[in-house]
Amino acid sequence: LRTGIPEAVFAEGKDDAELLKIIKSSSNNGIIVTRLTNKRYQQMEEGINQVLTPNMAIEYNQKARILVIRTQEVKKIGKIGLITAGTSDIPVAEETRIVAEESGCEVLKSYDVGVAGIHRLFSQIRLMLDADVEVIVVVAGMEGALPSVVAGLVDVPVVGVPTSVGYGVGEGGFTALYAMLQSCAPGIAVVNIDNGFGAAIFASKIIKSRKRS
């Protein structure tokens, strides 16, 4: 069983040849390709299959725009919670989910539980705490209020992921980012806008750090 964070490559800004070369030279632990659109994946699928070795299994997730090339099972290391405010935040959250799972985390997810239906939020968080998640990742765009509310309800650390969902003053995700950074509920740390990948790595480092001691 493999342990540890997988190698990853960011597809945007690289041309197909560069991407194939990186995949080909990836280590025995496999590799994760993020921000790979479905259209591009279709185009490259044949090329990718040619550079794969027999021990590699391949899995593409269109919503999360992620391609996972896996060589061995991953050892489970602990649990994280994963929440989105809206439906539109799901692609970013799915990036978190897949990367966290490839890093060995069991992910308890609950999507589209924004502050509107606050009672549904309460019960979902209860389930996560009962399952002993060690960190909760909260993905939200618009006014980015959800991490503040969650952090006011739990003792585990909360990792906020602002998304670029929104328009007008919310375009680009800065409102959500700033709101999370400026939260009056302490115990929140934040990653870059739409950085579902980074949140997953950070969350799994929290869990790994615990396992070590």
Ligand X SMILES: Nc1ncnc2c1ncn2[C@@H]1O[C@H](COP(=O)(O)O)[C@@H](O)[C@H]1O
Q: Which of 39, 46, 50, 155 binds its own copies (CB under 8 A)?
A: 155
d(CA 145, CA 23): 39
- State the minimum distance, in angstroms, from the CB of residue 86 to Mg ion: 4
- State the minimum distance, in angstroms, from the CB of residue 104 to its own copies: 13
| Residue 38: φ, ψ to 5° | -60, -45
Facing residues of 67 across strands? Answer: 33, 60
Q: Please, is 141 exposed, middle or buried when counting C-beta atoms within 10 Å of its C-beta (0-12, 13-18, 19+)?
A: buried
d(CA 93, CA 199): 9
- State the minimum distance, in angstroms, from the CB of residue 12 to its own copies: 7
Binding mask 171-200 for its own copies (x = CB under 8 A): xxxxx-xxxxxxxxxxxxxxxxxxx-xxx-
Residues 12 to 31: which contact its own copies by CB under 8 A? 12-14, 18, 22
Residue count of the chain:
213
**DSSP 3-state assignment of 81?**
strand
With CB under 5 to 8 Å by kind, the binding choice for 157 among its own copies, ligand X, Mg ion, none is its own copies
With CB under 5 to 8 Å by kind, the binding choice for 34 among its own copies, ligand X, Mg ion, none is ligand X
Q: Which residues bind ligand X (CB under 6 A)?
A: 8-10, 34-35, 86-88, 184, 186, 195, 197-198
